């Protein structure tokens, strides 16, 4: 039995946990404000808010309901556009109307929900952060100028109004209710969720499949999952937690990409990782996709994996019988082939805390900068003191059947004095480690050239004087 609150209504349903939330909202509940635009998390028209009780407050996140297993709404608050509406339109909606932020209207509810997700879950409003929240929403009438105007005005309005309001931890929702941005039933949700939790009955369910975040599984194979009870790794708290132990940073397998992005530990020890993750999917996807899922999916262009490869991350695998550790660089055996049995899950990963003088850079080129899959991505991590390379590690995604660590290139660079020639030589070695294929993300020839450029870009970032025009334009 899945029990949750949908807008202001308590719902109990016996549908399988693998059923799709979007279908439940549109078909079972006939709430048609949530739209189906692509069913692969690439348009945001189906965006809803998922509220989860954390300590005494409800934390809301935006997700794509088309990729969200129904089972994961258990004991949570699901908010659709209908659940955000007041008697009259709120200031944000009004601005969308007055600034021409809506044309055909099909994408609009998704934009409103994403924007409200921003207003509910953030403080110190500014346009750049707001754009990150709606980066996962596509408007094909391409009325983005109107949307920008609407958001800008709303942010200015709220920042002005909120002066003098208590901006304490739990006050966002209260303030937004008071300012007529949210219906007042939101105030009652924490209590209702607590009651749901107290009255839940543990049941024995036969699970037929593991699902982590499901952001790729529900794109590729949703038809197989809708009638099954899937085991939701994303709900397991023992698979979560980002912390430091000895000289290592640990990240739980079920932690989402957003968890990593927002983690204070990561921001303290490796802020560039957190920064780079804004190019991973969209806000909605990052709120859902997990660390373990990104690894196990084994996509050759997985962004997080690309970064973890240069950090020499270690995986902690667990099954009912067994526990073991393996380095990420050893984990990928071939296209979508892993050193992992079906019953093993990734409990956590870890990597060494970078020393103070580390250099880290992530490069990703895709057809579109945001909400896109890389044509080629590459990470760079190392220590270089007075032009002496202690170590440099470079990874390359999209140029091999697996997420690739450029082993030969990296070991070649170790203990060398960095010069123009060294960079040129490293590139040549790198080129011999790859075997790209042509596909929708680019021709093989392009991917080869692109990796060359990205390696140059890494060095250009730290040694601009070495990466001269003549080096860049020099024929290999």
Partner 1 sequence: MINFDSIKHVRGESQFVDDYIPYEKILYGYVFYSPIAHGLIKKLDYSEALQIPGVKYVFTYKDIPGENQVGGIIQDEELFAEHKVEFVGHPIALVVAEDFLTAKKAAKKIKVEFEELEPVFDPRVAYEKGSLIMPPRVFSLGDVNEAWSKCDYIIEGRVDSGAQEHLYLETQGSIAYPIENDSIKIYSSTQNPTHTQRIAARVLGLPMNKIEVDVLRLGGGFGGKEDQATHWAVMAALAAKKLKTAVKIILPRQEDMRLTGKRHPYSSDFKIGLDKNGKILAYEVTFYQNAGASADLSPAILERTLFHTTNTYYIPNVKATAISCKTNLLSNTAFRGFGGPQAMFVIESALFKASKVTGIDYHELQKINLLKEGDEFPYGQRAKNCRAQICYNTLEKIYNLPEVKKQINQYNQTSRFFKKAYSIMPICFGISFTSTFLNQASALVHVYTDGSVGISTAAVEMGQGVNQKLIEIASKVLSISKSRIKIETTNTTRVANTSPTAASKAADLNGFAVMEACEIIMGRLKKFAAQLLNVKEDNVQLIDESVYVNNQKTELRWNELIQKAYLSRISLSAQAHHATPDVYFDREKSKGEPFAYHVYGTALIEVTVDCLRGTYKIDSVKVVHDLGESLHEIIDLGQIEGGIVQGIGWMTMEEILFNEKGKLITDALSTYKVPDIFFAPEKIEVHFLENAPNPFGPFKSKAVGEPPFMYGIGAYFAILKAMLEFNPNMELNFKAPMTNERVLMSLYSKIREKVHQTIN
Footprint (CB under 8 A) of partner 1, residues 343-382: 363, 365-373, 375
**Which phi and psi angles does 243 have, rounded to 5°?**
-155, 170
Using CB under 8 A as the binding criterion, the count of chain residues that bind partner 1 stands at 90
Among 11, 13, 91, 100, binds partner 1 (CB under 8 A): 100
Residues 390-419 that bind partner 1 (CB under 8 A): none
**Which CA distances in Å does 17 have to 207, 229, 335?**
9, 5, 30
Of residues 188 and 432, the one with the C-beta less far from partner 1? 432
> From CA 289, how far away is CA 280, in angstroms rounded?
10
Among 64, 93, 235, 290, binds partner 1 (CB under 8 A): 93
Residue pair 147/111 in contact by the 8 Å Cβ criterion:
yes
Among 99, 172, 258, 350, binds partner 1 (CB under 8 A): 99
Per CB under 8 A, the segment of 262-270, 342-350, 404-412, 448-456 that binds partner 1 is 448-456
Per CB under 8 A, the segment of 95-103, 160-168, 239-247, 385-393 that binds partner 1 is 95-103
Of residues 54 and 476, the one with the C-beta less far from partner 1? 476
Residue pair 448/431 in contact by the 8 Å Cβ criterion:
yes
> From CA 327, how far away is CA 309, in angstroms rounded?
9
Of residues 87 and 247, the one with the C-beta less far from partner 1? 87
Q: Which residue stretches of 40-188 are H helix?
A: 81-84, 91-98, 108-121, 127-134, 144-162, 171-178
Among 14, 54, 55, 105, binds partner 1 (CB under 8 A): 105
Order of strands across the sheet with 248-252?
242-245, 248-252, 345-352, 314-318, 323-327
Minimum CB separation of residue 373 from partner 1 in Å reads 6
- Contact status: 180 vs partner 1 (CB under 8 A): no
- Contact status: 341 vs partner 1 (CB under 8 A): no
Kindly tell me the sign of the dihedral angle through the C-alpha atoms of 80, 59, 288, 140: positive
- Contact status: 152 vs partner 1 (CB under 8 A): no
> From CA 66, how far away is CA 33, in angstroms rounded?
14
Minimum CB separation of residue 144 from partner 1 in Å reads 4
The residue whose two tokens read 């219906």 is 183
Name the nearest CA neighbour of 29 among 74, 75, 82.
82
Among 82, 262, 339, 390, binds partner 1 (CB under 8 A): 82
Q: Which secondary structure element, helix H or strand E, spans residue 56, and what is its range?
A: none
Residues 215-244 that bind partner 1 (CB under 8 A): 219, 223, 226
Residues 248-277 that bind partner 1 (CB under 8 A): none
- Contact status: 104 vs partner 1 (CB under 8 A): yes
Minimum CB separation of residue 349 from partner 1 in Å reads 26
Residues 110-149 that bind partner 1 (CB under 8 A): 112, 131, 134-135, 137-148
- Contact status: 87 vs partner 1 (CB under 8 A): no
- Contact status: 434 vs partner 1 (CB under 8 A): yes
Phi/psi region, residue 10 (left: phi>0; alpha: psi -120 to 50; beta: rest), is beta
Minimum CB separation of residue 75 from partner 1 in Å reads 25
How many other CB atoms sit within 10 Å of the CB of residue 303?
25
Residue pair 379/310 in contact by the 8 Å Cβ criterion:
yes
């Amino acid at each position: 039995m899945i029990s949750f609150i949908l807008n202001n209504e308590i719902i109990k349903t016996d549908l399988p946990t693998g059923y799709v939330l979007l279908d439940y909202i549109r078909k079972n509940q006939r709430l048609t404000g949530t739209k189906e635009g692509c069913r692969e998390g690439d348009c945001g028209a189906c965006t809803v808010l998922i509220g989860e009780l954390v300590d005494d407050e409800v934390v809301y996140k935006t997700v794509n309901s088309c990729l969200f297993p129904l089972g994961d709404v258990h004991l949570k608050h699901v908010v659709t556009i209908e659940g955000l509406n007041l008697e009259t339109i709120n200031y944000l909606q009004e601005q969308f109307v007055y600034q021409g932020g809506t044309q055909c209207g099909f994408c609009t509810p998704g934009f409103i929900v994403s924007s409200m997700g921003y207003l509910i879950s953030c403080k110190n409003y500014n346009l750049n952060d707001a754009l990150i929240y709606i980066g996962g929403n596509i408007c094909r009438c391409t009325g983005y100028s109107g949307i920008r105007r609407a958001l800008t005005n709303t942010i200015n309005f709220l920042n002005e109004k909120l002066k003098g309001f208590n901006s304490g931890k739990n006050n966002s929702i209260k303030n937004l209710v008071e300012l007529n941005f949210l219906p007042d039933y939101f105030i009652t949700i924490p209590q209702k969720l607590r009651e749901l939790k107290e009255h839940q009955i543990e049941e024995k369910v036969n699970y037929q499949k593991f699902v982590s975040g499901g952001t790729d599984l529900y794109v590729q194979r949703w038809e197989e999952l809708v009638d099954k009870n899937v085991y939701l790794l994303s709900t397991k708290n023992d698979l979560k937690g980002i912390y430091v132990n000895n000289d290592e940073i640990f990240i739980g397998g079920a932690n989402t990409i957003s968890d990593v992005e927002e983690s204070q530990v990561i921001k303290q020890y490796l802020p560039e990782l957190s920064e780079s993750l804004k190019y991973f999917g969209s806000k909605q996807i990052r709120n859902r996709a997990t660390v373990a899922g990104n690894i196990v999916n084994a996509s050759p262009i997985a962004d997080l994996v690309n970064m973890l490869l240069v950090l020499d991350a270690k995986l902690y695998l667990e099954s009912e019988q067994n526990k073991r550790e393996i380095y990420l660089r050893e984990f990928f055996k071939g296209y979508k082939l892993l050193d992992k049995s079906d019953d093993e899950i990734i409990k956590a990963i870890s990597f060494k805390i970078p020393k103070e003088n580390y250099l880290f850079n992530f490069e990703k080129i895709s057809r579109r900068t945001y909400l896109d899959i890389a044509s080629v991505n590459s990470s760079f991590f190392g220590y270089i003191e007075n032009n002496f390379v202690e170590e440099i590690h470079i990874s390359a995604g999209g140029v091999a059947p697996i997420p690739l660590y450029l082993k030969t290139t990296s070991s070649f660079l170790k203990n060398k004095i960095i010069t123009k020639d060294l960079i040129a030589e490293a590139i040549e070695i790198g080129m011999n480690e790859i075997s790209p294929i042509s596909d929708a993300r680019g021709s093989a020839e392009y991917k080869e050239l692109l990796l060359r450029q990205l390696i140059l870009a890494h060095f250009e970032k730290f040694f601009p004087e070495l990466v001269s025009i003549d080096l860049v334009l020099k024929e290999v």
